[in-house]
Each structure stands twice: as structure tokens, then as C-alpha cells.
């Protein structure tokens, strides 16, 4: 016969494993896929940071090199960062989930012009609407990202 103490340890272990499996099953829809930008020239991977917010980085480029060298962030306003490779560059920062399919209070960096914009995202029908704006979301531009293969 098992002692009460042993039974408690077994039950605690089962409970702990169940909680871990539940947490793993609660992956956000943004994180389940890679995302093509609208032009399909890059794939972005979105993940949750240690602060619970969402971040996205470039993990694939259609044309990763120029003249045999990796593409770099040549338009970055910080001159010291202009030789940073585009591969691995963090484009999305600090998004909070608001409701089932809405993410807001984040920023998006556009390496084409070196500017960072306020941003909100909406997931609908396997498409991610990404709206960058200055000041008010009415004054901005929306692009639609689609699911990319891994």
C-alpha cells in the first residue's frame, strides 16, 4: 500500500504535467504559422516575449543576398545599425492581445524607409491585416499578410 505522502507526490506530479500540457496547447494563432508579407518577399515569425507581448522577426527572404553578401538594414536611421542583416531583424514589437483576434499597442519597423510606426493587427480567415499609422489609426496604411509554409 502507498503512503499518503507518496500519493500526494503522485497527484502533484499529475497536476503539474496537466498544467504544462494545457499551457502548451494554448499557443496563440499568430505563433502557429509563419507569415508572408504582402509582397511575399519575406517570411515573419511571430512569438510571445517574456513580457507576454508579441514580437515578429524576419526568418526568410526571397532575395537574401546582394552582390554575394547578406542584405542589410541600409535605411536604418541609426547609422551604427545600417550593417545589421535583414535576416533576423525584428519588425514587430510589443503587441498586446485585445480580444480573440486583435493585437494592438505595438510598433512595426519598415526597413524600406527606416521608419517605425504605431501598429495594430487583426487576424481573420487566416489573413493578418497589419495597419501601420502615425498618431491615429485613420491616418495609416494596411497590408495583408498571408500564411507561409514553414
Structural element, H or E, at residue 95: strand 90-97
In a domain, 134, yes or no: yes
In a domain, 3, yes or no: no
**Domain containing residue 72: CATH number:** 2.40.128.520
Are 46 and 56 in contact by the 8 Å Cβ rule? The answer is: yes
Q: What range defines the domain where residue 94 resides? A: 28-148
Give mean pLDDT, residues 121-145.
94
In a domain, 73, yes or no: yes
C-alpha cell at 8: 500526494
In a domain, 57, yes or no: yes
In a domain, 101, yes or no: yes
In a domain, 4, yes or no: no
Query: Which residues are bridge partners to 109 per DSSP?
Result: 116
Are 15 and 21 in contact by the 8 Å Cβ rule? The answer is: no
Q: Which residue has the higher pLDDT, 11 or 73?
A: 73
Give mean pLDDT, residues 110-116.
97
Residue 58 burial by Cβ neighbours in a 10 Å radius (0-12, 13-18, 19+): buried
Check residue 101 and report its DSSP letter. Answer: S
User: Cα torsion at 74, 78, 83, 86 (round to 10°)?
Assistant: -60
pLDDT tier at 113, thresholds 50, 70, 90: very high
Residue 38 main-chain phi, psi, to 5 deg: -60, -35
- Please state the domain count of the chain: 1
**C-alpha–C-alpha distance, residues 143 and 12, integer Å:** 48
pLDDT tier at 35, thresholds 50, 70, 90: very high
Q: Which residue has the cell 521608419?
A: 115
For the entire predicted model, the pTM comes to 0.81
Amino acid at each position: 500500500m502507498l503512503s499518503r505522502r507518496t500519493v500526494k507526490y503522485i497527484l502533484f506530479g499529475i497536476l503539474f504535467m496537466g498544467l504544462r500540457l494545457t499551457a502548451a496547447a494554448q499557443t496563440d494563432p499568430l505563433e502557429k504559422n509563419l507569415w508572408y508579407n504582402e509582397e511575399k518577399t519575406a517570411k515573419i515569425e511571430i512569438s510571445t516575449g517574456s513580457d507576454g507581448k508579441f514580437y515578429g522577426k524576419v526568418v526568410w527572404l526571397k532575395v537574401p543576398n546582394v552582390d554575394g553578401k547578406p542584405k542589410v538594414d541600409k535605411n536604418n536611421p541609426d547609422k551604427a545599425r545600417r550593417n545589421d542583416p535583414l535576416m533576423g531583424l525584428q519588425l514587430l514589437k510589443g503587441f498586446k492581445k485585445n480580444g480573440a483576434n486583435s493585437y494592438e499597442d505595438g510598433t512595426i519597423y519598415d526597413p524600406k524607409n527606416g521608419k517605425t510606426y504605431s501598429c495594430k493587427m487583426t487576424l481573420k480567415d487566416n489573413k493578418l491585416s497589419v495597419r501601420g499609422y502615425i498618431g491615429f489609426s485613420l491616418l495609416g496604411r494596411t497590408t495583408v499578410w498571408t500564411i507561409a509554409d514553414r
